[in-house]
A and B are shown apart, each in its own frame.
Chain A
Amino acid sequence: MPKHYRPPGKKKEGNAAKYMTRSQAVKHLQVSLPLFRRLCILKGVFPRDPKKKLKGTHQTYYHTKDILFLKHEPLVEKFREIRAYDKKVKKAISKKNKERAERLLAHKPNYKLDRLIRERYPRFVDALGDLDDCLSMVHLFAALPAVEREKIRVKHIHNCRRLSHEWQAYISRTHKLRKTFISVKGIYYQAEVEGQKITWITPHVLQQVLTDDIDFGVMLTYLEFYETLLAFVNFRLYHSINMKYPPILDPFLEALAADLYALSRWFATKSGAALLGSQAVSSSGSEQHDSETLDGQPDESEIRLAQLQHQLPSSEPGALMHLVEDAEGLDDDDEETKECKSLFKNMKFFLSREVGRESLLFVISAFGGTVSWDGDGAPFKETDQSITHQIVDRPTQVHKFLSREYVQPQWVYDCVNARIILPIDDYLVGRIPPPHLSPFVNNEEEGYIPDYAEKIKQLQAAARKHILPMPGVANDYRDDPQNLLVEGIISRTEASEAADRKQKMLNLEKQYHEELKMELQGVQYTPSTTAIRQSSIEDTEARVGSPSELDQTAEDTGNMAKLVMSRRERGLYEAMQISKKRKQAGVSLLKSRKRRLEEIWPSKLPRCREANLSTSTVIFVI
């Protein structure tokens, strides 16, 4: 008799009834495995982890209800229909009935995913919470080449590009970007939309590597769903800021692959017409508009835009509404958004040719800056005198305008993460910039704080102090925090020295006391020397005196408590200790590496300290 024998006529119970393996599910649904996979991806059905794996541990188990959920999906029927239809087309083609084939192809049954999206994400917040993978995938495909062999169509790529730009335009328009990080894998962004932290990665703008061991079928199924999801999400987001979706873009700018800028222009013209000067971007846009019209060379794109505006009837009557709502929106902004909005306020950036344009356009405008670039369709030229910062990524800059700063792109990202304008000294052209740190790491929790993180922290503290004081007394205060800071730094070093000294003193004292005690005991006990007593004294002394013994006792007390724990708790405790130890090992490795580096270049790190001081003064003076 098998282990799990069920007498005939008796229903399955428990795990046997609740879960079925994948092959059972496929059989039950009467679909092929690829179709099953597709359904699972689209419906968001995933395997579960039953407690009792009745068919063995090597199987994947689906919940029976999930499978029934799939079974009642109209999409299954639709897929069958499509399959039958495809057969018809194939037959027509093979019978050389071209006309019929064409007619059939024109009326190919189609399916929509909107219902699925609504079903999977009943609330908008749910969709936003699950958007990370979606965004990363769409951004990745926006950077991929179209490969016909893998069925990556140009259509997909263009759609992905458009969607990603729409998303970025929304984020930068509403200043929802919070963190950025340039990693080796790409550029990470984190935005906060409706309280949901959404993180995505965009690959570096370069030719992507396609390897053979990738099944693009799976990825494309995901992409299909993600494209739809992101489009609906964008629709909703655009709707929330009273914008029409899909946006109609300036074809001239689009042709120049400046979609993002085109989108921001679109935004600006749509709402900025009513709200002049409320947005840095929009104001610059309108200024540009003015100057161009004055020049007497009406830009093609402008004309096109004007035409489009006429075509769209929704823009005129809603103008006042926009104004009101935008004003409300401004009030609604939380503290962080305001902070983000004003980070690069009154700063004008110019991107050199070699700088990755898309990312910086996105980031700078998301933090309230005005950007232009080297190329056609740019809002202002390099020669513009009002440019405050030029972002350059080349070893040397030959021609320099005195009115502006030349910085490396990393400066922008670091500023964004620190939420303050960092001193540009370290980021000048030709220098190796200071380390770029991840904003996603909690340094305190990690147990290791890189030098540069500490420096940024000081600068942040300094900036905050600088802002707080009243303008009248600012002069007095100006010196004070500086002194304080300097004192702080000095005192920190002093404190550590003092601590060392104190430790030494304590040790000496202890030693002295011990000696005294020993002497006393010795005087007391030497006359009546019994070997046993002596040995016992020695023993006690050894116990108290040597640090290893002390450690031993400490460890013993730790172990004692462990003895009484239940087995489960002990296991948990030990697992925690292991993870803690691993973490500590990582930190100690970093520390040892740093020590070694300090030994190799002893001059390098102190210089960093000095720079630290000087930069902090710079911040205060400005």
Chain B
Amino acid sequence: MAKVAVRPESQVKKEKKGRRSENSTRDDKSQVKEVSSGRNATLRKSKVNGQEFPEDEVHDDPVLDNVDPGLADVDGSASDDIHEVVEESDSSEDEVTPRNTIGDVPLEWYKDEEHIGYDITGKKIKKKEKQDKLSKFLDSTDYSKSWRKIYDEYNDEEVELTKQEAKLIRRLLKGKTPHAELDPYSTYVDWFEWKDAKHPLSNAPEPKRRFIPSKWESKKVVQYVRAIREGRIKFDKPKEEPRFYLLWGDDSSLSEKTRGLSYIPPPKPKLPGHDESYNPSLEYIPTQEEINSYQLMFEEDRPKFIPKRYSSLRSVPSYENAVKESFERCLDLYLCPRARKKRINIDPESLKPKLPSRKDLKPYPITCYIEYKGHKGAVVSISTEATGQWVASGSADGTVRIWEVATGRCIRMWEFGEAVKHVAWNPLLQIPILAVSVGHDVFILDTGLGGEDEKKKVKELLHIEAPTAGEDFANTTSPVSWLLDDSLGGLRLKHPKIVSSVEWHRKGDYFSTVMPADILEIFPPLYIALLFSVGSKQAILIHQLSKKQTQRVPFKLHGLPVSSAFHPSRSIFFISTKKNVRVYDLLKQKLIKKLETGLREVSSISIHPGGDNVIVGGREGKLCWFDMDLSSQPYRVLKCHPKDITNVAFHPSYPLFASCSEDCTAYVFHGMVYSDLNQNPLIVPLEILRGHSSSNGRGVLDCKFHPRQPWLFTAGADSLIKLYCH
């Protein structure tokens, strides 16, 4: 069968006609007579310009010829056409028979020959005379169609292409079909008609399976039927119910709370302020410098929104974070823990407790009245005499001075050559003696004040028989040696360690000394070993002046002792270590109470003249008031000073107490203790006393009340002593 595509006849016809005209032109040009080459010339290649292209139109003719006459007869017009084609089949041979008969051999074989080949009779065909380039060029310029001329190397002649041929070639070069009329993708038309065909093309009998119902299909059907019956497959669309209805009817009867757990509604987003306006007031817009300074801020502090101003509504762009902020809000809503927080909307001033008027609590020291000048170094310690006439002060310049309170005159001075640590007057009026701690020594000095009787008494008191003392010293294991110091006119108690403070018993016979085991001090290593082996029991000693005896405290101390104090009326002894204060009964020799200060480091302690209240000053500037009857915890902690508290003091008769600190201030408080046990002490801060200046980073080092008047003495690191009066 023909395997060639069959085209509709009309098209074929058109092609044939076109070709006919083509051929006629060719005939004119070629002298060689056209010879009908018969049907077998199916394929011929014309070599034009070295390019080959098949001429497949030619195939049509044999195909049509071979068609079954019965089929071809169906259409009369078609058969007419075929006849026409058949008649003109001679002219379909559109190629000039080659003059040269050498066949398809490489032409370079004849390159050096005189001839180009042989004609049909076997004679040599001579090469033509070659034109020189100039004449060629002239020819080409003369003849306008010379571009269409092609040199046929095979036949050694020049051929001029017709217009149609040139067109054909152009189309081929473009990769199109050579003839524009031809549709390469035409619809397929079957070559025979099925209509009314009596016999099938295939004569095979129908297979059996075509007549038997499918087993698998029936199974599937059963499955479907079952599924439909059971309602697994539904065909009708689900009914559209009204999606929205009145969800909340009359809900006034519902109570507020319906859920078990408390529902916390999310906090509402913050409402925008003036600065978020598209056109805010000019003062809301930060300057460029301010915007630049935001870069230096921490990420958290940096303002998230920078106000901007647009002159009109139309120039406002879309906000780039709109979606993001919405998203963040979503995250907040479902990720952030919610908690109810009470926000107090009150005036902060109302938080301050109502204090009794300070006017009602007068008198108390208010203004600096007198300054006592004379010391060269920081005044470390002061002490008032029992009558309130004299003040003794010890300074870091190694001197102890006695001043007249009323006039500010220095009446006596001792020089020790070493920094004075502590001075303390004997609390008895009859014995005007002064205890001074300097380095390792404690001096008991005769001040030489008072009348003749007193002087006599003091002389007796401060007398030691030298030999016996020596024996004693040799025999006993007393850690302190009592010596007579003639140059200063008093006693000298030599301690193994540096003495930090001296405190008198109320009766004036006993006094205690504290030797904090300061590791910073340069001891020989052996001594340190001894010190630790002895423990801190030795850190506090109690001396009896009348018997010139010294004894250790019979209690075990926990921690380093800072200071000690005698109870003002009973035989109770307070020892404050760095963390807490221990209260011992000296008669029963046992611990009564432990006061837990909660301070980092205790610096000073003072006992209320009533004996039931204690104030403790700490190094972090806190002052603790203990009510011994109440608890071992502080009744009130006052955070008043920004720096260390150096000393605290109670007034012996007025309800006053004071604290002084390194920040150059002294606070005066009203501290009323009631005899009624049910009433708590009343503490009212009264006054902040300033006036001292800081030197070497230290401020006020000591404060003491006047024994009779509501006056306060303060000793500063600026080598001044000040008296504040009411």
Task: Spell out A's residues near B (CB within 8 Å).
Answer: 37, 40-41, 44, 46-49, 60-61, 63, 65-66, 69, 103, 106-107, 114, 117-118, 121-124, 127, 129-130, 132-133, 136-137, 140, 144, 181-186, 188, 199, 203-204, 206-211, 213-215, 218-219, 222, 231-232, 234-236, 239, 245-246, 354-356, 393-394, 408-410, 432-433, 435-438, 440-441, 446, 450-452, 532, 535-536, 539-540, 543, 552, 556, 559-565, 567, 569-570, 572-573, 576-577, 580, 590-591, 593-594, 597
Stretch among B38-46, B337-345, B389-397, B483-491 lining the A interface: B337-345
Q: What is the distance, in angstroms, from A190's C-beta to the closest C-beta of chain B? A: 8
* A406 CB to nearest chain B CB (Å): 13
- Interface-lining segment among B147-155, B347-355, B510-518: B347-355
What would 10 A/B residue contacts be, using CB atoms closer than 8 Å? A44-B263, A122-B258, A218-B334, A234-B244, A452-B281, A561-B353, A561-B355, A563-B667, A572-B344, A573-B352
Residue B587 is within 8 A (CB to CB) of chain A in the complex: no
Contacts of A437 in B (CB 8 A): 274, 277, 280-281
**A231 smallest CB distance to B (angstroms):** 5
Closest to A216 in B: B327
Q: How far is the CA of A561 from the CA of B264 in the complex (A)?
A: 38
Output the least CB separation between A57 and chain B (Å): 11
Q: Which residues of A contact B312 (CB under 8 A)?
A: 393, 408, 432-433
A569–B348 CA distance with the chains assembled, in angstroms: 10
Residues of B near A103 (CB, < 8 A) are 233
Cα A408 to Cα B274 with chains together (Å): 19
Contact yes or no, B320 A564, CB < 8 A: no
Binary interface profile of B, 450-469, with partner A (CB < 8 Å = 1, else 0)? Answer: 00000000000000000000
A215 to B327, CA, bound (A): 8
Would A140 and B269 be within 8 Å (CB), given that A441-B274, A536-B368, A594-B283 are in contact? no
- Chain B residues with Cβ below 8 Å from A564 are 353, 355, 636, 638, 683-685
Closest B residue to A220 by CB, please name it. B330
Contact among B276, B338, B368 for A185, CB-based, below 8 A: B276
Give the Cβ gap from A317 to chain B, nearest Cβ, in Å: 19
Chain A residues near B351: list those with CB within 8 A: 565, 569, 572-573, 576
With both beta carbons as reference points, the residue of chain A lying nearest to B369 in the complex is identified as A536
Q: Is B212 an interface residue (CB 8 A)?
A: no
Q: Are B318 and A207 in contact (CB under 8 A)?
A: yes
Residue on B nearest A136 in the bound complex, by CB: B326
Partner of B335, one of A60, A61, A122, A234: A60
Q: Is the CB of B322 within 8 A of A203?
A: yes
Known: A184-B278, A437-B277, A569-B351. 13 other contacts (CB 8 A): A185-B322, A186-B319, A188-B272, A231-B243, A435-B277, A435-B282, A438-B277, A446-B273, A536-B368, A556-B687, A562-B352, A563-B640, A572-B351
Is A435 a contact of B280 with CB atoms below 8 Å?
Answer: yes
B638→A563 contact, CB < 8 A: yes
A41 to B330 alpha-carbon distance, docked (Å): 9
* A436 in contact with B272 (CB, 8 Å): no
A393 & B348 in contact (Cβ 8 Å cutoff): no
- Which among B274, B321, B369 has the highest number of chain A CB atoms within 10 Å? B274
Of residues 231 through 267 on chain B, the ones whose CB sits less than 8 Å from some CB of chain A are 233-234, 237-238, 243-248, 251, 254, 258, 260-261, 263-266
Q: How far is the CA of A393 from the CA of B316 in the complex (A)?
A: 12
Is there a chain A Cβ closer than 8 Å to B633's Cβ?
no
Report whether B316 and A204 are in contact in the complex, using a CB–CB cutoff of 8 Å.
Answer: yes
Beta-carbon contact of A450 and B274 below 8 Å:
yes
Question: Would you call B276 and A47 a contact (CB within 8 A)?
Answer: no
Give the residues from 281 to 327 in chain B that come closer than 8 angstroms, CB to CB, to chain A. Answer: 281-287, 305, 307-308, 310-314, 316-327
**Residues on A with beta carbons closer than 8 Å to the beta carbon of B238:** 107
Task: Output the least CB separation between B664 and chain A (Å).
Answer: 13
- Top 8 closest A-B pairs, CB basis? A206-B318, A440-B271, A49-B339, A576-B348, A124-B248, A561-B352, A435-B281, A594-B283
Asked if B268 is at the interface of the complex by the 8 Å CB criterion, the answer is yes
B337 near A60 (CB under 8 angstroms)? yes
B348 partner residues in chain A, CB cutoff 8 A: 572-573, 576-577, 580
Task: Write the nearest CB–CB distance from B3 to chain A, whole angstroms.
Answer: 37
Main secondary structure of the interface of B (DSSP, over half): loop
Q: Report if B367 contacts A (CB, 8 A).
A: yes
Contact with A along B118-140 (1 / 0, CB 8 A): 00000000000000000000000
Taking a contact as CB atoms under 8 Å apart, the answer to whether B639 and A563 are in contact is yes
B282 proximity list for chain A (CB < 8 A): 435, 593-594, 597
- In the complex, whether B12 has a CB less than 8 A from a CB of chain A is no
A206 surroundings in chain B (CB, below 8 A)? 317-318
Task: Check B448 for interface membership: any CB of A closer than 8 A.
Answer: no
Interchain CB contact under 8 A, A536 and B367: yes
User: Whole-angstrom distance between the alpha carbons of A216 and B260 in the complex?
Assistant: 32
> Does the CB pair A218–B277 fall under 8 Å?
no
- Residues of chain B within 8 A of A569, CB atoms compared: 351
Question: A436 and B279: CB pair below 8 A?
Answer: yes
Chain B residues near A573: list those with CB within 8 A: 348, 351-352
Known interface pairs A246-B244, A564-B683. Does A48 touch B339 (Cβ–Cβ under 8 Å)? yes
Q: Which of B266, B280, B322 has the most CB of A within 10 A?
A: B322
- Which chain B positions have C-beta within 8 A of A435? 274, 277, 279-282
Interchain nearest-CB distance for A578 vs B (Å)? 10
- B370: interface (CB < 8 Å): yes
The answer to whether residues A185 and B281 also contact, given A118-B247, A438-B273, A564-B684 and a CB cut-off of 8 A, is no
Contacts of B22 in A (CB 8 A): none
B333 CB-CB contact with A under 8 Å: yes
In the assembled complex, B331 has its CB within 8 A of some CB on chain A = yes
A567 to B334 CA separation, bound complex (whole angstroms): 36
Picked from B311, B316, B408, the residue with its CB within 8 Å of the CB of A532 is: B408
Complex Cα gap A285–B694 (Å): 86
Q: Are A46 and B277 in contact (CB under 8 A)?
A: no
Are B246 and A40 in contact (CB-based, < 8 A)? no
Q: Is the beta-carbon distance between B234 and A222 smaller than 8 angstroms?
A: no
> Complex Cα distance A579/B352, Å?
17
Let me know if B243 and A199 touch, CB within 8 A: no
Residues A65 and B261 in contact in the complex (CB < 8 Å), given A185-B325, A206-B318: yes
